[in-house]
Structure 1
Amino acid sequence: MADDENPINFGIMGCAEIARKVSRAIHLAPNSILRAIASRSIEKAKRFAIKNSLPDDVKIYGSYDELLDDPCVDAVYMPLPTSLHLQWAVLAAQKKKHILLEKPTALDVDQLDQILEACESNGVQFMDGTMWYHHPRTAKMKALLSDSQIFGQLRFIHSSSSFAPSPEFFEKDIRVKMNLDGLGALGDAGWYCIAAILWAMDYHLPTTVTALPAIARNSAGVILSCSASLNWDKHETIATFYCSFLSHESMDLAISGSNGSLHINDFIIPYQENSGPFSVTSGAKFVDLHIGWNVKPEIVQVATELPQEALMVQEFARLVKGIKISGSNPDGKWPGISRMTQLVIDAVKKSIDLGFISVSL
């Protein structure tokens, strides 16, 4: 429940399953309040409100236009199919609504650039819905990676994001429909992998991106599983990732430096929402006869008072409030991160389409 004197009023455009999680996050964030939800039909919006026990004062709309025309709504969370992002995000920006946009942000960087231009020209804040950025564990890991004595020079990164859904997923889910979310596993699970790699590299774009030949598609041509390698010539660093709708749940991130390594097995969704672990090893050597190690990984546990999705909403609302109350400019950090992630997504897709050749960035 908002305890801020001037909470940011949110509207949710679209009643996708992920919207249930974010509606709860808006409720938990102390500077935010849910004012309205919208679907393409009033019946679906009402069902969402009942299922999620939304307060009676939350407005329910049967069209997205009605929500965007509501003067009480400051910001919108938009979990629409990716194919609809360009149309509705641009219109939201033109209506002066700040935008928390679900990932992947667009079908390609050209579409995203149109969204970001609309946000910039209308003075509204943009952020994508990548939640793990906002967990305090993420800042703790970054501090360790930045310590040259503990970690040394970054050499290799690997990330994976996969899950094996029910057969119904492959028949009905928007993520396997070419006309709705044509990027498939690359845009969904792969977004997290690429974002984590770029985060570890302090957002230096790779020199080249090369998709690997092992790829699976459905009958419509949507990617169900793929992998790629990323190379940084200047930094002498290599990264790989694997994303899939066909493998058991994984949310792994492994980062190796010249003097240390860091591993995390739940980087996207922590095993528990009130804390998150990771392991770090520094200065490890084999003991005599190579029958063991001289050190064991240190397990670091980072507690959080709010779930990471509520922290995301809180940070977004803080930025929006600065614009609304203090006349601050929108923060360019978050759109910049989204754009770099989208650029690498595009490069992987281009490499796949051209027969797995290396694509320069």
Structure 2
Amino acid sequence: MAENETIRFGIIGCANIARKLARAIALAPNATLSAIASRSKQKANTFAAENQLPATVRIYGSYDEVVEDPGVDAVYIPLPTSLHVRWAVAAASKGKHVLVEKPAALDVAQLDLILEACESNGVQFMDGSMWLHHPRTAHMEQLLSLSHSTTVGPVQFIHSTSTMPVPPEFLENNIRVKPDLDGLGALGDLGWYCIGASLWAKSYNLPTTVTALPDITRNAAGVILSFTASLQWCQGQQPADQAVATVHCSFLSHTSMDLSLCGSNGSLHLKDFIIPYQETDASFDFTFGAKFVDLHIGWNVRPEEVHVDNELPQEALMVQELARLATSIRDCGSKPSSKWPEISRKTQLVVDAVRKSIEIGFKPVAL
């Protein structure tokens, strides 16, 4: 595909996560990497050399240069969360589409500034929840559909975890434990995925109440290192209207990325929902119509392991989707999709509610 037919990406910030997105942009058939920037040109040059970026990639020593570059159509922002508003708004105001790392913002008021800038300038917004773009996610959505012949049924219970055992230097120096850089800590970095998965399972209907549990762990600066929360949906009198989700995220536990969904007819279980065990395929367990056999000495069915292949890594599929939307805006006069901003905003609202529940002594927060 010719460069003028692709969406040209710029990256501002050479954080470690940017390596993955530089690779994803290279793999996406409708995207190309045109520019990168760090706070110093030397660091940007080092990033380009270590990641073997093409010589055609322009290398800058300031973020402004990428934002001002007319040869950049979309900007990926892997900066600390506290800097998202400034640079996302700057990029949108220059007519550039915005892909921002999660958490999208420190609170919904900041996120609204970003979304308003994107909307008023007619550019696409998306956050970096890459797992939503994996074909496994679409396959599971089919089984959650009430019109599917083997539907899970109305989802009544959701359990998700995202935990990782970090080394001591992480707890001392990583930006995710610095209150002035990423003040949400594990709530933003890991909780964004689990809260997002809970909302996804409920078709992005907001819970009626959110409650943090009092097992929270903070560092000396007050940043959250570990937390647990529950989300409750009580929107009617019927069983289908009732649901609860439990979320546990921690920088202090062994690696886990579990997601379990239980409905009236079946259940879905996977242990790698954020990052699949392998790039080329993924799986999940699907159980439908399970009952106990006579005397409760076994089950009548075993879970079916469902395998889903994918041609591209989920990060490249995310880039491909943003580039597709950007191309439609550029070439067909389409409006930016409202799907992705709405997903991010609802996720942010629940993140904010968990934080508020913690601040008021672990009491329920109504949404």
Q: Could you state the TM-score of these two structures normalised by the residue count of structure 1?
A: 0.98
Shift of 1:86: 0.8
How far apart in 2 are the matches of 1:302 and 1:48?
34
Map 1:143-292; keep pairs closer than 5 Å: 143-146=142-145, 147=148, 149-234=150-235, 235-292=241-298
| Equivalent residues of 1:3, 1:30 under 8 A apart | no
Map 1:40-79; keep pairs closer than 5 Å: 40-79=39-78
Identity %: 67
How far apart in 1 are the matches of 2:330 and 2:174?
37
How far apart in 1 are the matches of 2:330 and 2:115?
19
Shift of 1:148: 6.7
- Aligned partner of 1:279: which letter? D
- Aligned partner of 1:341: which letter? T
* Aligned mate of 2:300, from 290, 294, 304: 294
Shift of 1:169: 0.7
Deviations 1:112-163 (A, max 9, x none): 0011001111111100010000000000001001137431222100111010
Q: Which runs of 5+ in 2 are unaligned?
A: 236-240
Shift of 1:259: 1.4
Deviations 1:74-121 (A, max 9, x none): 000000000001111111111111100100000000000011001111
How far apart in 1 are the matches of 2:286 and 2:35?
44
Q: Could you state the TM-score of these two structures normalised by the residue count of structure 2?
A: 0.97
Deviations 1:44-63 (A, max 9, x none): 10110011000111000000
Shift of 1:206: 0.3
Question: Which contiguous aligned blocks of 4+ residues in structure 1 show a shift greater than 2 angstroms?
Answer: 2-5, 147-150
Q: Which runs of 5+ in 1 are unaligned?
A: none
Shift of 1:164: 0.5
Map 1:11-160; keep pairs closer than 5 Å: 11-146=10-145, 147=148, 149-160=150-161
Shift of 1:171: 1.4
Cα-Cα RMSD: 1.0
Shift of 1:292: 1.0
Corresponding residue number in structure 1 for 2:238 = none
| Equivalent residues of 2:3, 2:32 under 8 A apart | no
How far apart in 2 are the matches of 1:307 and 1:89?
25
| Equivalent residues of 1:75, 1:98 under 8 A apart | yes
